[in-house]
Structure 1
Amino acid sequence: MKTLTIRLNAPLQSFGNEATFARRTTWKYPSKSAVIGMLSAAMGYRRNNSRIADLNRLKFAVRIDQPGQTMTDYQTVEWKSDTRKITYRDYLQDAIFVVAVGSEDERLIDTLRTALRHPKFQLFIGRRANTPAGPLQLYLFNHQNPVQVLTDFKWQASEWFRKKTKKEFVSLEMIADAELLSDSNGDPELVKDRIISLDQRYRQIGFRAVSHTQVQLNNDKFKKQIVGTEHDVMNFL
Protein backbone atom coordinates (compact mmCIF):
# COMPACT_ATOMS: atom_id res chain seq x y z
CA MET A 1 0.00 0.00 0.00
CA LYS A 2 1.12 3.55 -0.77
CA THR A 3 0.11 6.43 1.49
CA LEU A 4 0.05 10.18 0.92
CA THR A 5 0.04 12.63 3.84
CA ILE A 6 -1.44 16.13 3.58
CA ARG A 7 -0.79 18.81 6.19
CA LEU A 8 -3.95 20.91 6.52
CA ASN A 9 -3.15 24.38 7.78
CA ALA A 10 -5.30 27.50 7.33
CA PRO A 11 -6.42 30.52 9.37
CA LEU A 12 -9.95 29.05 9.32
CA GLN A 13 -11.17 25.53 8.62
CA SER A 14 -14.63 23.99 8.82
CA PHE A 15 -15.96 20.48 8.42
CA GLY A 16 -19.74 20.52 8.40
CA ASN A 17 -21.75 17.82 10.09
CA GLU A 18 -25.53 17.78 10.53
CA ALA A 19 -26.57 21.38 10.00
CA THR A 20 -29.55 23.62 9.47
CA PHE A 21 -29.73 26.92 7.65
CA ALA A 22 -29.65 28.83 10.94
CA ARG A 23 -26.74 26.98 12.58
CA ARG A 24 -23.83 25.27 10.85
CA THR A 25 -21.39 23.59 13.18
CA THR A 26 -18.06 21.93 12.46
CA TRP A 27 -16.38 18.69 13.44
CA LYS A 28 -13.19 19.04 15.46
CA TYR A 29 -11.20 17.22 12.76
CA PRO A 30 -11.31 16.93 8.95
CA SER A 31 -14.00 14.62 7.64
CA LYS A 32 -13.18 12.07 4.95
CA SER A 33 -15.89 13.54 2.72
CA ALA A 34 -14.30 17.01 2.97
CA VAL A 35 -10.89 15.62 2.01
CA ILE A 36 -12.40 13.67 -0.88
CA GLY A 37 -14.07 16.90 -2.00
CA MET A 38 -10.68 18.64 -1.99
CA LEU A 39 -9.07 15.76 -3.91
CA SER A 40 -11.92 15.85 -6.42
CA ALA A 41 -11.44 19.58 -6.95
CA ALA A 42 -7.73 19.03 -7.54
CA MET A 43 -8.53 16.32 -10.08
CA GLY A 44 -11.00 18.59 -11.88
CA TYR A 45 -14.09 16.50 -11.08
CA ARG A 46 -17.39 18.36 -11.14
CA ARG A 47 -20.00 17.66 -8.47
CA ASN A 48 -21.98 15.19 -10.58
CA ASN A 49 -18.93 13.13 -11.59
CA SER A 50 -19.40 9.48 -10.56
CA ARG A 51 -15.64 9.11 -9.95
CA ILE A 52 -15.98 11.16 -6.76
CA ALA A 53 -17.78 8.30 -4.99
CA ASP A 54 -15.00 5.92 -6.09
CA LEU A 55 -12.60 7.83 -3.82
CA ASN A 56 -14.52 6.47 -0.80
CA ARG A 57 -12.38 3.37 -1.26
CA LEU A 58 -9.28 5.28 -0.19
CA LYS A 59 -8.02 4.25 3.24
CA PHE A 60 -8.22 7.27 5.52
CA ALA A 61 -6.81 8.50 8.83
CA VAL A 62 -6.39 11.95 10.35
CA ARG A 63 -4.31 13.15 13.31
CA ILE A 64 -5.09 16.26 15.35
CA ASP A 65 -1.69 17.94 15.72
CA GLN A 66 -2.93 21.38 16.81
CA PRO A 67 -6.58 21.48 17.94
CA GLY A 68 -7.20 25.19 17.49
CA GLN A 69 -10.25 27.02 18.83
CA THR A 70 -13.84 27.28 17.67
CA MET A 71 -14.98 30.64 16.30
CA THR A 72 -18.62 31.45 15.55
CA ASP A 73 -19.46 33.83 12.71
CA TYR A 74 -22.72 35.77 12.99
CA GLN A 75 -24.41 36.56 9.67
CA THR A 76 -27.59 38.25 8.53
CA VAL A 77 -28.86 36.91 5.21
CA GLU A 78 -31.36 38.81 3.09
CA TRP A 79 -32.67 37.35 -0.17
CA LYS A 80 -35.97 39.24 -0.47
CA SER A 81 -36.78 42.83 0.33
CA ASP A 82 -38.65 41.91 3.51
CA THR A 83 -37.07 38.55 4.36
CA ARG A 84 -34.07 38.28 6.66
CA LYS A 85 -32.52 35.32 8.43
CA ILE A 86 -29.90 35.23 11.15
CA THR A 87 -27.35 32.43 10.79
CA TYR A 88 -24.36 31.20 12.78
CA ARG A 89 -21.40 29.37 11.25
CA ASP A 90 -18.65 27.70 13.28
CA TYR A 91 -15.00 27.56 12.21
CA LEU A 92 -11.77 26.14 13.62
CA GLN A 93 -9.04 28.77 13.86
CA ASP A 94 -5.28 28.11 14.06
CA ALA A 95 -5.78 24.35 13.78
CA ILE A 96 -3.37 21.95 12.08
CA PHE A 97 -4.16 18.41 11.00
CA VAL A 98 -2.29 15.68 9.17
CA VAL A 99 -4.45 13.61 6.83
CA ALA A 100 -3.26 10.32 5.36
CA VAL A 101 -4.90 8.58 2.41
CA GLY A 102 -3.72 5.20 1.16
CA SER A 103 -4.44 2.71 -1.59
CA GLU A 104 -3.10 -0.48 -3.10
CA ASP A 105 -3.41 1.39 -6.39
CA GLU A 106 -0.07 3.20 -6.18
CA ARG A 107 -0.68 4.96 -9.47
CA LEU A 108 -3.80 6.60 -8.02
CA ILE A 109 -1.85 7.96 -5.04
CA ASP A 110 0.81 9.39 -7.37
CA THR A 111 -1.93 10.97 -9.48
CA LEU A 112 -3.54 12.57 -6.40
CA ARG A 113 -0.23 14.03 -5.28
CA THR A 114 0.36 15.56 -8.71
CA ALA A 115 -3.19 16.92 -8.76
CA LEU A 116 -2.77 18.58 -5.35
CA ARG A 117 0.39 20.27 -6.58
CA HIS A 118 -1.31 21.41 -9.79
CA PRO A 119 -5.05 21.60 -8.96
CA LYS A 120 -7.63 22.05 -11.70
CA PHE A 121 -10.05 23.89 -9.37
CA GLN A 122 -9.45 26.09 -6.33
CA LEU A 123 -8.69 24.08 -3.19
CA PHE A 124 -10.47 24.87 0.06
CA ILE A 125 -10.57 23.23 3.48
CA GLY A 126 -14.23 22.72 4.27
CA ARG A 127 -16.15 25.81 3.19
CA ARG A 128 -15.18 27.71 0.06
CA ALA A 129 -13.78 30.69 1.96
CA ASN A 130 -11.23 28.48 3.77
CA THR A 131 -8.20 28.35 1.50
CA PRO A 132 -4.96 26.61 2.60
CA ALA A 133 -2.22 28.74 4.14
CA GLY A 134 0.16 28.37 1.22
CA PRO A 135 1.19 25.29 -0.82
CA LEU A 136 0.20 21.98 0.74
CA GLN A 137 2.96 19.94 2.36
CA LEU A 138 2.80 16.43 0.88
CA TYR A 139 4.78 13.28 1.66
CA LEU A 140 4.68 9.78 0.17
CA PHE A 141 5.21 6.54 2.08
CA ASN A 142 5.57 3.07 0.57
CA HIS A 143 4.39 -0.20 2.11
CA GLN A 144 2.55 1.49 4.99
CA ASN A 145 -1.12 2.17 5.59
CA PRO A 146 -2.35 5.57 6.89
CA VAL A 147 -2.43 4.48 10.55
CA GLN A 148 1.12 3.14 10.41
CA VAL A 149 2.33 6.37 8.84
CA LEU A 150 0.62 8.70 11.35
CA THR A 151 1.81 6.63 14.30
CA ASP A 152 5.42 7.63 13.62
CA PHE A 153 5.16 10.80 11.52
CA LYS A 154 6.82 13.82 13.17
CA TRP A 155 4.58 16.20 15.12
CA GLN A 156 3.44 18.89 12.65
CA ALA A 157 2.13 21.61 14.99
CA SER A 158 3.39 25.18 14.62
CA GLU A 159 6.74 25.97 16.21
CA TRP A 160 5.18 28.39 18.70
CA PHE A 161 2.65 25.73 19.72
CA ARG A 162 5.36 23.10 20.22
CA LYS A 163 7.35 25.51 22.37
CA LYS A 164 4.24 26.41 24.34
CA THR A 165 3.57 22.72 25.07
CA LYS A 166 6.06 22.19 27.87
CA LYS A 167 6.10 18.40 27.65
CA GLU A 168 8.77 16.09 26.32
CA PHE A 169 6.11 13.80 24.83
CA VAL A 170 2.63 14.61 23.56
CA SER A 171 -0.47 12.47 23.09
CA LEU A 172 -2.33 13.20 19.84
CA GLU A 173 -5.76 11.92 18.86
CA MET A 174 -6.02 9.93 15.63
CA ILE A 175 -9.27 9.00 13.88
CA ALA A 176 -9.26 6.37 11.15
CA ASP A 177 -11.38 3.95 9.15
CA ALA A 178 -12.50 1.31 11.64
CA GLU A 179 -10.85 -1.55 9.73
CA LEU A 180 -7.48 0.20 10.11
CA LEU A 181 -7.88 0.32 13.90
CA SER A 182 -9.51 -3.05 14.50
CA ASP A 183 -7.36 -3.63 17.59
CA SER A 184 -8.17 -0.28 19.23
CA ASN A 185 -10.07 0.02 22.49
CA GLY A 186 -13.77 0.78 22.24
CA ASP A 187 -16.41 0.05 19.66
CA PRO A 188 -16.35 1.73 16.23
CA GLU A 189 -18.47 4.83 15.79
CA LEU A 190 -20.80 5.43 12.85
CA VAL A 191 -20.47 8.89 11.36
CA LYS A 192 -22.27 10.45 8.40
CA ASP A 193 -19.21 10.83 6.23
CA ARG A 194 -19.44 8.63 3.10
CA ILE A 195 -20.11 10.42 -0.17
CA ILE A 196 -22.97 9.07 -2.24
CA SER A 197 -23.46 12.19 -4.36
CA LEU A 198 -22.22 15.79 -4.18
CA ASP A 199 -24.62 16.92 -6.89
CA GLN A 200 -26.30 20.03 -5.47
CA ARG A 201 -29.70 18.77 -6.63
CA TYR A 202 -29.35 15.29 -5.08
CA ARG A 203 -26.73 15.68 -2.37
CA GLN A 204 -26.45 12.46 -0.33
CA ILE A 205 -24.05 11.46 2.44
CA GLY A 206 -24.03 7.97 3.97
CA PHE A 207 -22.48 6.43 7.06
CA ARG A 208 -19.04 4.91 7.64
CA ALA A 209 -17.39 3.35 10.69
CA VAL A 210 -14.46 5.07 12.41
CA SER A 211 -12.30 4.34 15.46
CA HIS A 212 -10.22 6.59 17.70
CA THR A 213 -6.80 6.08 19.27
CA GLN A 214 -3.95 8.09 20.81
CA VAL A 215 -0.47 8.52 19.34
CA GLN A 216 2.56 9.32 21.51
CA LEU A 217 5.16 11.56 19.84
CA ASN A 218 8.30 13.42 20.83
CA ASN A 219 8.24 17.21 21.21
CA ASP A 220 11.43 18.43 19.53
CA LYS A 221 11.02 21.91 21.09
CA PHE A 222 10.96 20.68 24.66
CA LYS A 223 13.89 21.89 26.76
CA LYS A 224 14.66 20.37 30.11
CA GLN A 225 15.34 22.83 32.87
CA ILE A 226 18.57 21.86 34.59
CA VAL A 227 18.63 22.95 38.20
CA GLY A 228 22.07 22.90 39.83
CA THR A 229 22.37 21.11 43.17
CA GLU A 230 25.96 22.03 43.97
CA HIS A 231 26.70 25.33 45.70
CA ASP A 232 29.40 26.84 47.84
CA VAL A 233 28.10 29.01 50.68
CA MET A 234 31.59 30.46 51.20
CA ASN A 235 31.28 32.31 47.89
CA PHE A 236 28.95 34.78 49.62
CA LEU A 237 31.54 35.76 52.25
Structure 2
Amino acid sequence: MTQPYVLLIRLAGPLQSWGVSGRFALRDTHPRPTKSGVIGLCAAALGLHRDEPLGELAETLFGVRADHPGTPLRDYHTVGGGTYPLSPRDLATDHRRATAAYPDTAIATGTGTFGRHTLDSWYGAPKKIAADPVSGALVSGEVRRNAMLTERWYLADAAFLAGLQHSDPALLERIAHALEHPKRLLWLGRKSCPPSGELALGIVPGTLEEAFRAKPLLPAAGVPAAAPATRARPWAWIESPHPLPGVGPISDQPVRFDADGPVHGLRWETRHRITIDQHASEWDIIP
Protein backbone atom coordinates (compact mmCIF):
# COMPACT_ATOMS: atom_id res chain seq x y z
CA MET A 1 0.00 0.00 0.00
CA THR A 2 1.31 3.44 -0.96
CA GLN A 3 2.41 5.60 1.97
CA PRO A 4 0.06 8.61 2.39
CA TYR A 5 1.27 12.07 3.37
CA VAL A 6 -0.61 15.03 4.78
CA LEU A 7 0.01 18.75 4.25
CA LEU A 8 -1.20 20.66 7.31
CA ILE A 9 -2.67 24.11 6.67
CA ARG A 10 -3.47 26.71 9.31
CA LEU A 11 -6.65 28.69 8.59
CA ALA A 12 -6.85 31.55 11.08
CA GLY A 13 -7.73 35.23 10.97
CA PRO A 14 -10.05 37.84 12.47
CA LEU A 15 -12.85 36.75 10.08
CA GLN A 16 -13.58 33.74 7.91
CA SER A 17 -16.56 33.02 5.67
CA TRP A 18 -17.03 29.72 3.86
CA GLY A 19 -20.20 30.26 1.87
CA VAL A 20 -22.33 27.32 0.74
CA SER A 21 -25.37 28.83 -1.00
CA GLY A 22 -24.94 32.57 -0.49
CA ARG A 23 -26.41 35.14 -2.85
CA PHE A 24 -26.26 38.94 -2.85
CA ALA A 25 -29.01 39.53 -0.27
CA LEU A 26 -27.95 36.69 2.06
CA ARG A 27 -24.40 35.35 2.18
CA ASP A 28 -24.08 32.50 4.62
CA THR A 29 -21.07 30.68 6.01
CA HIS A 30 -20.49 27.02 6.78
CA PRO A 31 -19.39 26.44 10.40
CA ARG A 32 -16.07 25.10 9.10
CA PRO A 33 -13.88 25.50 6.01
CA THR A 34 -15.06 23.64 2.91
CA LYS A 35 -12.91 21.56 0.58
CA SER A 36 -13.88 23.73 -2.39
CA GLY A 37 -12.84 26.84 -0.45
CA VAL A 38 -9.46 25.42 0.60
CA ILE A 39 -8.72 23.98 -2.86
CA GLY A 40 -9.61 27.39 -4.30
CA LEU A 41 -7.16 28.96 -1.85
CA CYS A 42 -4.42 26.57 -3.00
CA ALA A 43 -5.28 27.09 -6.68
CA ALA A 44 -4.93 30.86 -6.21
CA ALA A 45 -1.58 30.39 -4.47
CA LEU A 46 -0.36 28.24 -7.37
CA GLY A 47 -1.51 30.89 -9.85
CA LEU A 48 -4.04 28.68 -11.65
CA HIS A 49 -6.57 30.40 -13.88
CA ARG A 50 -10.27 29.78 -13.37
CA ASP A 51 -10.58 27.72 -16.55
CA GLU A 52 -7.58 25.48 -15.80
CA PRO A 53 -8.25 21.88 -14.71
CA LEU A 54 -7.57 21.26 -11.04
CA GLY A 55 -6.02 17.83 -11.69
CA GLU A 56 -4.24 16.27 -8.73
CA LEU A 57 -5.14 19.23 -6.53
CA ALA A 58 -8.79 18.19 -6.49
CA GLU A 59 -7.84 14.51 -6.05
CA THR A 60 -6.36 15.12 -2.59
CA LEU A 61 -8.37 13.94 0.37
CA PHE A 62 -9.50 16.79 2.61
CA GLY A 63 -9.93 17.04 6.33
CA VAL A 64 -10.41 19.87 8.82
CA ARG A 65 -10.15 20.01 12.61
CA ALA A 66 -12.05 22.72 14.49
CA ASP A 67 -9.47 23.84 17.07
CA HIS A 68 -11.30 27.12 17.73
CA PRO A 69 -14.71 27.12 15.97
CA GLY A 70 -15.10 30.87 16.42
CA THR A 71 -18.23 32.94 16.94
CA PRO A 72 -20.87 33.52 14.24
CA LEU A 73 -20.94 37.19 13.30
CA ARG A 74 -23.76 38.87 11.33
CA ASP A 75 -22.88 41.92 9.25
CA TYR A 76 -26.00 43.89 8.35
CA HIS A 77 -26.05 46.21 5.31
CA THR A 78 -28.44 48.55 3.58
CA VAL A 79 -27.71 49.45 -0.03
CA GLY A 80 -29.31 52.36 -1.86
CA GLY A 81 -32.54 54.14 -1.03
CA GLY A 82 -33.22 57.72 0.03
CA THR A 83 -32.10 60.85 -1.80
CA TYR A 84 -28.59 62.10 -2.51
CA PRO A 85 -27.07 65.37 -3.72
CA LEU A 86 -27.31 65.71 -7.47
CA SER A 87 -24.23 65.38 -9.63
CA PRO A 88 -23.57 66.67 -13.17
CA ARG A 89 -24.30 63.16 -14.48
CA ASP A 90 -27.73 63.20 -12.87
CA LEU A 91 -28.63 66.42 -14.65
CA ALA A 92 -27.14 65.41 -18.00
CA THR A 93 -29.11 62.18 -18.13
CA ASP A 94 -32.51 63.58 -17.16
CA HIS A 95 -33.74 67.04 -18.16
CA ARG A 96 -36.70 66.73 -15.76
CA ARG A 97 -34.31 66.51 -12.85
CA ALA A 98 -32.28 69.47 -14.10
CA THR A 99 -35.37 71.65 -14.48
CA ALA A 100 -36.63 70.80 -11.00
CA ALA A 101 -33.25 71.31 -9.35
CA TYR A 102 -32.19 74.48 -11.17
CA PRO A 103 -34.93 76.91 -12.26
CA ASP A 104 -34.24 78.88 -15.44
CA THR A 105 -33.22 81.91 -13.42
CA ALA A 106 -30.56 79.99 -11.57
CA ILE A 107 -29.13 78.54 -14.77
CA ALA A 108 -29.17 81.89 -16.49
CA THR A 109 -27.39 83.69 -13.65
CA GLY A 110 -24.93 80.88 -13.05
CA THR A 111 -25.90 80.55 -9.39
CA GLY A 112 -26.65 76.82 -9.60
CA THR A 113 -24.08 74.72 -7.72
CA PHE A 114 -23.54 71.01 -8.20
CA GLY A 115 -23.52 68.75 -5.18
CA ARG A 116 -25.74 70.87 -2.92
CA HIS A 117 -29.24 70.05 -4.12
CA THR A 118 -31.53 67.11 -3.50
CA LEU A 119 -35.00 66.40 -4.81
CA ASP A 120 -37.78 64.62 -2.97
CA SER A 121 -38.54 61.19 -4.41
CA TRP A 122 -35.47 61.28 -6.66
CA TYR A 123 -32.53 58.97 -6.13
CA GLY A 124 -29.10 60.40 -6.84
CA ALA A 125 -28.06 57.72 -9.36
CA PRO A 126 -30.52 57.33 -12.26
CA LYS A 127 -31.41 53.87 -13.48
CA LYS A 128 -32.99 52.49 -16.65
CA ILE A 129 -31.93 55.46 -18.77
CA ALA A 130 -33.57 55.62 -22.19
CA ALA A 131 -34.74 58.18 -24.77
CA ASP A 132 -38.02 59.93 -24.00
CA PRO A 133 -40.56 58.83 -26.66
CA VAL A 134 -41.83 62.42 -27.11
CA SER A 135 -38.79 64.66 -26.83
CA GLY A 136 -36.05 62.14 -27.56
CA ALA A 137 -34.07 63.39 -24.56
CA LEU A 138 -32.50 60.92 -22.15
CA VAL A 139 -34.66 60.32 -19.08
CA SER A 140 -34.57 57.90 -16.19
CA GLY A 141 -37.22 55.23 -15.95
CA GLU A 142 -36.53 54.69 -12.24
CA VAL A 143 -36.19 57.92 -10.32
CA ARG A 144 -36.45 56.37 -6.86
CA ARG A 145 -35.00 53.19 -5.42
CA ASN A 146 -35.93 51.29 -2.29
CA ALA A 147 -33.08 50.27 -0.02
CA MET A 148 -31.89 46.67 -0.38
CA LEU A 149 -31.16 44.81 2.84
CA THR A 150 -28.27 42.35 2.92
CA GLU A 151 -26.87 39.98 5.55
CA ARG A 152 -23.34 38.61 5.50
CA TRP A 153 -22.24 35.96 7.97
CA TYR A 154 -18.71 35.34 9.23
CA LEU A 155 -16.83 33.27 11.79
CA ALA A 156 -14.94 35.59 14.13
CA ASP A 157 -11.67 34.61 15.84
CA ALA A 158 -11.72 31.05 14.49
CA ALA A 159 -8.74 28.78 13.90
CA PHE A 160 -8.90 25.52 11.93
CA LEU A 161 -6.26 22.92 11.13
CA ALA A 162 -6.93 21.68 7.60
CA GLY A 163 -5.16 18.81 5.88
CA LEU A 164 -4.65 17.61 2.31
CA GLN A 165 -3.76 13.92 1.99
CA HIS A 166 -1.99 12.51 -1.08
CA SER A 167 0.52 9.78 -1.91
CA ASP A 168 2.85 12.19 -3.74
CA PRO A 169 4.81 14.34 -1.24
CA ALA A 170 6.26 16.41 -4.12
CA LEU A 171 2.76 17.66 -4.98
CA LEU A 172 2.15 18.63 -1.35
CA GLU A 173 5.52 20.38 -1.22
CA ARG A 174 4.58 22.51 -4.26
CA ILE A 175 1.31 23.47 -2.61
CA ALA A 176 3.04 24.28 0.69
CA HIS A 177 5.62 26.49 -1.05
CA ALA A 178 2.88 28.28 -2.99
CA LEU A 179 0.87 29.00 0.16
CA GLU A 180 3.87 30.83 1.64
CA HIS A 181 4.84 32.43 -1.72
CA PRO A 182 1.42 32.91 -3.40
CA LYS A 183 1.06 34.11 -6.98
CA ARG A 184 -2.37 35.56 -6.24
CA LEU A 185 -4.04 37.12 -3.22
CA LEU A 186 -5.37 34.65 -0.66
CA TRP A 187 -8.41 34.87 1.56
CA LEU A 188 -10.38 32.68 3.92
CA GLY A 189 -13.46 32.12 1.81
CA ARG A 190 -14.20 35.76 0.97
CA LYS A 191 -12.06 38.65 -0.23
CA SER A 192 -12.68 40.61 2.98
CA CYS A 193 -11.09 37.80 5.05
CA PRO A 194 -7.30 37.64 4.63
CA PRO A 195 -5.45 34.92 6.53
CA SER A 196 -3.06 35.79 9.34
CA GLY A 197 0.36 34.29 9.99
CA GLU A 198 1.68 31.06 8.52
CA LEU A 199 -0.51 28.81 6.41
CA ALA A 200 1.66 25.80 5.54
CA LEU A 201 2.65 23.95 8.72
CA GLY A 202 4.58 21.10 7.18
CA ILE A 203 4.08 17.66 5.67
CA VAL A 204 3.77 14.56 7.83
CA PRO A 205 3.50 10.87 6.90
CA GLY A 206 0.25 9.09 7.65
CA THR A 207 -3.47 9.64 7.20
CA LEU A 208 -5.51 12.73 8.03
CA GLU A 209 -6.83 11.24 11.26
CA GLU A 210 -3.32 10.24 12.35
CA ALA A 211 -2.00 13.73 11.57
CA PHE A 212 -4.82 15.38 13.52
CA ARG A 213 -4.16 13.16 16.54
CA ALA A 214 -0.44 13.90 16.50
CA LYS A 215 -0.75 17.69 16.55
CA PRO A 216 -1.91 19.90 19.47
CA LEU A 217 -4.54 22.58 19.21
CA LEU A 218 -3.52 25.69 17.31
CA PRO A 219 -2.92 28.82 19.38
CA ALA A 220 -5.39 31.63 18.76
CA ALA A 221 -5.23 35.31 19.67
CA GLY A 222 -7.44 36.22 22.61
CA VAL A 223 -8.15 32.57 23.45
CA PRO A 224 -6.98 31.16 26.81
CA ALA A 225 -4.39 28.40 26.77
CA ALA A 226 -5.81 25.14 25.54
CA ALA A 227 -6.69 22.34 27.91
CA PRO A 228 -4.09 19.61 28.36
CA ALA A 229 -3.75 17.45 25.28
CA THR A 230 -5.25 14.44 27.03
CA ARG A 231 -8.53 16.34 27.54
CA ALA A 232 -8.67 18.26 24.27
CA ARG A 233 -11.08 16.49 21.90
CA PRO A 234 -11.99 18.78 19.01
CA TRP A 235 -14.30 17.73 16.18
CA ALA A 236 -12.78 16.85 12.81
CA TRP A 237 -14.39 16.15 9.44
CA ILE A 238 -12.41 13.73 7.26
CA GLU A 239 -13.05 12.86 3.63
CA SER A 240 -13.54 9.24 2.62
CA PRO A 241 -12.39 8.12 -0.84
CA HIS A 242 -15.45 5.90 -1.22
CA PRO A 243 -19.11 5.98 -0.16
CA LEU A 244 -19.19 3.58 2.79
CA PRO A 245 -21.81 2.83 5.46
CA GLY A 246 -21.93 5.67 7.95
CA VAL A 247 -20.24 8.09 5.55
CA GLY A 248 -22.36 11.07 4.50
CA PRO A 249 -22.40 12.73 1.07
CA ILE A 250 -21.70 16.43 0.67
CA SER A 251 -21.80 18.54 -2.50
CA ASP A 252 -18.37 20.06 -2.01
CA GLN A 253 -16.03 18.34 -4.46
CA PRO A 254 -14.52 21.12 -6.61
CA VAL A 255 -14.71 20.44 -10.35
CA ARG A 256 -13.80 23.87 -11.71
CA PHE A 257 -13.99 27.52 -10.68
CA ASP A 258 -15.64 29.17 -13.68
CA ALA A 259 -16.12 32.94 -13.70
CA ASP A 260 -19.88 32.36 -14.00
CA GLY A 261 -19.86 30.25 -10.85
CA PRO A 262 -18.03 27.23 -9.42
CA VAL A 263 -19.04 23.68 -10.29
CA HIS A 264 -19.12 21.06 -7.54
CA GLY A 265 -19.60 17.31 -7.34
CA LEU A 266 -20.30 14.90 -4.49
CA ARG A 267 -17.75 13.68 -1.99
CA TRP A 268 -18.07 11.73 1.25
CA GLU A 269 -16.90 12.53 4.76
CA THR A 270 -17.20 11.38 8.36
CA ARG A 271 -17.12 13.31 11.62
CA HIS A 272 -14.72 12.28 14.38
CA ARG A 273 -13.85 13.30 17.91
CA ILE A 274 -10.08 13.66 17.90
CA THR A 275 -8.16 12.67 21.01
CA ILE A 276 -4.85 14.47 20.76
CA ASP A 277 -1.78 12.46 21.67
CA GLN A 278 -0.42 13.43 25.07
CA HIS A 279 3.09 13.54 23.57
CA ALA A 280 2.12 15.93 20.77
CA SER A 281 4.77 18.60 20.24
CA GLU A 282 3.81 22.24 20.73
CA TRP A 283 3.43 24.65 17.82
CA ASP A 284 5.98 27.37 17.27
CA ILE A 285 3.42 29.78 15.84
CA ILE A 286 2.46 33.36 16.66
CA PRO A 287 -1.36 33.42 16.93
Taking structure 2 as the reference length, what is the TM-score of the superposition?
Answer: 0.68
- Counterparts of 1:53 and 1:127 in 2: how far apart (Å)? 23
Shift of 1:21: 2.5
For structure 2, the residue ranges without an aligned partner over 5 or more in a row are 82-124, 127-144, 280-287
Structure 1 residue 206: deviation in Å? 2.0
> For 1:167-206, what aligned pairs fall within 5 Å after superposition?
169-179=231-241, 187-206=246-265
1:147 and 2:150 are equivalent in the alignment: no
Instruction: After superposition, give the CA deviation of every residue in 1:52-102 in whole Å (9 maximum; x if it has no partner).
Output: 254221011110001110001112234964364211010000100000112
Aligned residues: CA RMSD: 2.6
Higher strand share: 1
Q: Which of residues 193, 206, 209 in structure 1 aligns to 2:268?
A: 209
Q: Gapped runs of 5+ residues in structure 1?
A: 221-237
Question: How many angstroms apart in 2 are the aligned matches of 1:180 and 1:155?
Answer: 29
In the alignment, what sits opposite 1:55? Answer: 57
The CA deviation at 1:159 is 7.0
TM-score, structure 1 as length reference: 0.81
Find the aligned partners of 2:168 and 2:41 in 1 and give their Cα distance.
19
Indicate the residue corresponding to 2:22 in structure 1: 19
Match of 2:44 among 37, 41, 44: 41
Give the 3-state SS of the residue equivalent to 1:163 in structure 2.
coil
Aligned equivalent of 1:107, options 170, 176, 179: 170
What is the rounded CA distance, in whole Å, between the counterparts of 2:211 and 2:243 in structure 1? 13
Residue in 1 aligned with 2:68? 66
Deviation at 1:122, TM superposition (A): 0.7
Q: Among 189, 206, 228, which residue is 1:126 paired with?
A: 189
Where does residue 87 of structure 1 map in the other structure? 150
For 2:271 and 2:190, locate their aligned partners in 1 and report how far apart those are by CA, in whole Å.
Answer: 25
Deviation for aligned residue 1:167:
9.0
Contact 1:53 1:195 in 2 (8 A): no
**C-alpha separation in 1, matches of 2:214 and 2:243:** 15
Say whether the 8 Å CA contact 1:169–1:218 is kept in structure 2. no
In 2 relative to 1, CA 78–55 (structure 1 residues): closer, same or farther, beyond 3 Å?
farther
1:97 aligns with 2:156: no
Which structure carries more relative contact order (alpha carbon 8 Å, separation 6+)?
2
Code of the residue aligned with 1:158 in structure 2: it is A
Residue identity matched to 1:120 = K
Maintained 8 Å contact 1:155/1:218: no
Mapped partners of 2:25, 2:227: distance in 1 = 37
CA shift in 2, pair 1:37/1:126, >3 Å: same
Identity %: 27
Contact 2:239 2:269 in 1 (8 A): yes
SS at match of 1:171: coil
Task: Write the distance in 1 (CA, Å) between the matches of 2:190 and 2:29.
Answer: 10
Cα distance in structure 2, aligned partners of 1:134 and 1:42:
15
Larger Rg: 2
- Contact 1:53–1:196 (Cα < 8 Å) also in 2: no
Distance change >3 Å, CA 45–CA 189, structure 1 → 2: same
Q: 1:159 to 1:19 in 2, by over 3 A?
A: closer
